[in-house]
Structure 1
Amino acid sequence: MPEVLFDFTAHGKLLLTAEYFVLDGVPALAVPTRLGQRLRVVRSPEPGLRWRAFDHRGDCWFTAHLPEQDWARTQVPGEEPRARISQLLHAAESLRPGATTALSGLAVDTFLEFDRAWGLGSSSTLVAAVARWLAVDPYALLELTFGGSGYDLACAVAEGPILYQRTDSQPLVTPLDWHPAWLKHTYFVYRGQKQNSRDGIRAYRQAQVLPAQREAIAAATLALLSPTLHLRSGAQILAQHEALVATALGMEPVQAALFPDFPGQTKSLGAWGGDFIWALSEAPAEKIHAYFNGRGFPTVIAYEQMVG
């Protein structure tokens, strides 16, 4: 067996509130998921760096061999996996000179535990793991590569729910003891239309967002954390949150567009239009599953199964 030099698993993520607004310093409620991505580094008899990526089924979907120090010479543009890996290594080297000088003769394997299409953080878990491996600041590494608010990096190493706030320097990450009983009546439903987060961010930046809207989103997030909150009040808060985001972006809330007869409240998560929605309802679990399954959404996951 080859010598294992590094082995780390980063959690996936779900942003429950303040999507888009988190970019402007609005406090956001986020949770790490049970499933994440593992990065393992072993010695290899070959020169250069060998990289393989495995999906949640255990199938190798990507493999590459990077020549010795090839990544340190120039920033490689592109969206394909090889270019992204080169970008990560190049950025790590720029953040800590010498960070990648000893990578020749190593082999990296990544193991994704969730479906790549789900949008739970295949990129952010990779950034978090690479940053831990090469001992660089994960938020600086994210800024130089994929970009974004950074809440997903906080989730990658969190042990439970967090309140995340972006600042001009290091973000404020507050661990929360937030496990209200009503969460057992909530579900995550995959819409099957993965969205590009960068496109969503671009659309948000073009919107005319008012300070009052940011303040209202922050208030909704804090209200959701109240220890005396019950399910119906939580549903009202999420309905208000949806209306605020819809007004800011000029988009229709998912409940009005797809689920007007749902016996509860639904909320979009992440970039609107894809990935998961969050559904709250007092109806029995079997009725919730039947409702969404009957409308062409087969992936319905209880909160405690996803977050746990």
Structure 2
Amino acid sequence: MHKYRSNGKVLITAEYAVLDGGLALALPSKYGQSLSVGKGDTGQIYWTAYRSTGELWFKAILDITNPVQITPIPIDNSLDKEFEKAKTLSKILVEAQKLNPFFINPKDGYSVETRLDFPTNWGLGSSSTLITNIASWAGVDPYVLLWNGFSGSGYDIACAQNDKPLTYQLQANQPIIDLIEFNPTFKDCLFFVHLNQKQNSREGIKRYKTLKDKESRLIKQISQLTVEFIQASSLQQFENLIQVHERYIASAIHLTPVKEKLFSDYKGAIKSLGAWGGDFILVTGSKGYVQNYFQVKGYPTIIPYPDMVY
């Protein structure tokens, strides 16, 4: 039995801009995903994926008799959605096999089990942690695996592999990762609030590529803000930076900031994280005020900063 684990991700700054070389502040999440590999029936991979509750989320049987064309085998009563997941999984495995032709042996069989530490709608990286775990299993570069099969900046892969806050930047299509000390003295006033919906990051990226302002000025502005976020010594300074950052990104993607759209009467600062429109937001305020405000508004999932990230 071989076991692998990867961390989830929280992007604090440079959402969207990180795709074009903006310097981003990213935090590995304490929540992640594990993958275990054992022996199975010859010529097949029997794959089971479990939710954080222990409930079965997804299962698939994959034909590996031709490792360059791994194909899902329909399971009785399987839903179309399940079969689409199986095809996506097959695509990842095929790309891994291309990078390492000795990864999957058609004469062998495998039983694979994955387990998430977080609900599937939290947007903490169910895909990136899966890709990173498969890359570890295959012994291949997870960034190449990501970019050969999908899209994205790769910051989530950096989070998956590290247990410390980091800055991430693409330079000449290469990831530049620096592990940093980021432990705000005001962290007890920072909370992650879930918006009760899952945002498809691929759709968000697609929209950004259609609408974005590619001027280098925006990238420089966001990169400078990231440095200032890291250096912020007070909650007020941090809140001011949130407001400026939200304004810059709103202008670039032509969307209304989440505070203005949903929480205009909130007394603290609110920042979207990752693709705008879903998943978690970062909010500032006292514990009592944050909990009372968002619970009344119908957003009960409120996670203190120290409980979410390393």
Unaligned runs of 5+ in 2: 73-80
Q: 2:110 corresponds to which residue?
A: 106
Alpha-carbon distance, 1:235 to partner: 0.3
Q: 1:154 corresponds to which residue?
A: 158
Q: 1:292 corresponds to which residue?
A: 294
Equivalent position SS for 1:194: coil
**2:290 is aligned with what amino acid?**
I
Q: 2:75 corresponds to which residue?
A: none
Moved over 6 A (4+): none
1:48–1:104 CA distance, 2 compared to 1 (3 A): farther
1:171-210 equivalences in 2 (<5 Å): 171-207=175-211, 208-210=213-215
- When structure 1 is superposed on structure 2, of 139-148 and 237-246 the one drifting more is 139-148
Matched, 1:91 2:87: no
Matched, 1:35 2:40: no
Structure 1: distance between partners of 2:215 and 2:234: 30
Q: 1:305 corresponds to which residue?
A: 307
Equivalent position SS for 2:174: coil
1:18-97 equivalences in 2 (<5 Å): 18-73=14-69, 80-97=84-101
Equivalent position SS for 2:88: helix
> Normalized against structure 1, the TM-score is what?
0.93
- When structure 1 is superposed on structure 2, of 81-90 and 237-246 the one drifting more is 81-90
Q: Equivalent of 1:17, from 13, 18, 24?
A: 13
Unaligned runs of 5+ in 1: none
Equivalent position SS for 2:224: helix
Alpha-carbon distance, 1:287 to partner: 1.8
**1:223 is aligned with what amino acid?**
E
> Normalized against structure 2, the TM-score is what?
0.92
Tell me if structure 1 keeps the 8 A contact 2:42–2:107.
Answer: no
Equivalent position SS for 1:171: strand
Alpha-carbon distance, 1:73 to partner: 2.3
Tell me if structure 2 keeps the 8 A contact 1:49–1:104.
Answer: no
Q: 2:218 corresponds to which residue?
A: 213
Structure 2: distance between partners of 1:209 and 1:159: 32
- The alignment of Structure 1 onto Structure 2 pairs a total of residues equal to 300
Residues 18-44 of structure 1 deviation map (CA, whole Å, 9 limit, x = unaligned): 000000011100001111000000112
Structure 1: distance between partners of 2:290 and 2:27: 22
Residue identity (%): 38
Structure 1: distance between partners of 2:299 and 2:184: 27
